[in-house]
Amino acid sequence: MKSTLHELIDALPKAELHVHLEGTLEPEMLFELARRNRVALPFDSIEAVRRAYDFSRLQDFLDIYYAGTAVLQTERDFRDMAMAYFRRARADNVSHVEAFFDPQAHTERGISIEVVANGFLEAASEAAELGLTVYLIACFLRHLPEEAALATFDDLRTYLDRLTGVGLDSSEVGHPPRKFQGVFARARDAGLKVVAHAGEEGPPEYVREALDLLKVDRIDHGNRSLEDGELVGILRERGVPLTVCPLSNLRLAVVKTLKAHPLPRMLEAGLKVTVNSDDPAYFGGYVNDNYRQVADAVGLSKDDIVTLARNSFDASFLPTERKRAYDEEVLRVAREFGISSA
C-alpha cells in the first residue's frame, strides 16, 4: 500500500484555481522570448533574474512582474507561455485549471487585446490534448481606475462566450473592491463568474466589500479574513471558497514562515479552502510544491490533503456532474492510500 504524504499529494487529481498566466513566465522562457522579439532585459543572466526574485512585499513583486511582460509581443508568445504552464501543471496531476490573465498589463503597453486573448485561448484549446480543461478569467488591475476596467470589459465583449469570469488583482492596499462595483455588475449581467483578490495584504473589510458589493463567487487569498470572527462565519455559512497560495504568502511576507501559515486554522474553521501556486515562476513552486511545503510546515494530515483536493474541484466553476466525477476519482485514490475517511 502506498503510504507517504508526498506520494499522496503527487497521486491525487487536483484543480488549480488561482494562477496568473503571466506569473508562469520562467526565466528561461523570459530570455527566449526576449531574443525572439529583440527586447532588451535589465538582467544579464538567468541567475540574475532569480536573484531579483527576493521580495519584501507585494509591490516589489509587481514591479518585476510587469517588467517581465515586455517580452510578450505576439499571439505565439502568449500561447507558448501558457502551454509551458499547462504541461507543468499536468505533471503535477492537475486536471482542471481556472487561470487568470491581465489584459490591461498588455494593452497599456500597446499590445492589442486580440493578440492577448487569441494566444491564451489557443493554448486553452490545445491543453485538452494533455487531458487538461482550462477556464480563463480576465482580471482588472485595481491600481487603475474603474473607467479603464470598463473600457477593457467592452473590448473583451467579443470573447465573453469563451471566458468563464472576471477577477480583480494587482496592488491591493489603497484600492478597495468598492471601486469596481460598476464593471463587476456588468460582468454578472453578462453571465460571467466573478472573483476578487481580497484579504492578502488588505484588511478583512476588503473581503466584506468583495462579498457584499462585488458579489463574488470566490475570494482569492482571503488570509486576513481570520481577523474577523463574524466574517469567518459568513464565509463558512455561504460556502465561499478561498484560493490560498502558501508559497506566495511566504515570498511576499504575508506570513513570516510557512509554519505560521493560517491554512490549518482555515480548515479547522470549516472554510472551503484550496491550495494554489499564484505566480509559480516567481515564488519557487507549482501546485504540488505548495501542497508539500505547507503540509510539512504546519503538519497537515492525509485527511487534510484529501479535503484540499476535494475542495479544489468543489470550488471550481465546472458543471456539477464533472465535479462529482472528479470527487469520485479523488476518493478512489485516497482509498488506495488506506484513508478510511474516503
Residues noted as catalytic: 200
Residue with cell 482571503: 222
Q: What is the DSSP letter of 337?
A: T
Closest CA to 137 of 217, 204, 240, 27: 217
Q: Answer whether 24's CB lies under 8 Å from 84's CB.
A: yes
Closest CA to 185 of 159, 209, 214: 214
Residue with cell 485527511: 303
Q: Answer whether 23's CB lies under 8 Å from 102's CB.
A: no
Residue with cell 489603497: 174
**Distance between CA atoms of 19 and 101, rounded to whole angstroms?**
9
**Distance between CA atoms of 113 and 289, rounded to whole angstroms?**
33
Helix H or strand E encompassing 274: strand 273-275
Side chain identity, residue 255: V
* Residue-wise DSSP of 100-140: EE-HHHHHTTT--HHHHHHHHHHHHHHGGGGT-EEEEEEEE
Q: What is the DSSP letter of 266?
A: H
Side chain identity, residue 272: K
**Distance between CA atoms of 326 and 133, rounded to whole angstroms?**
12
| Residue 38 burial (C-beta neighbours within 10 Å; 0-12, 13-18, 19+) | exposed
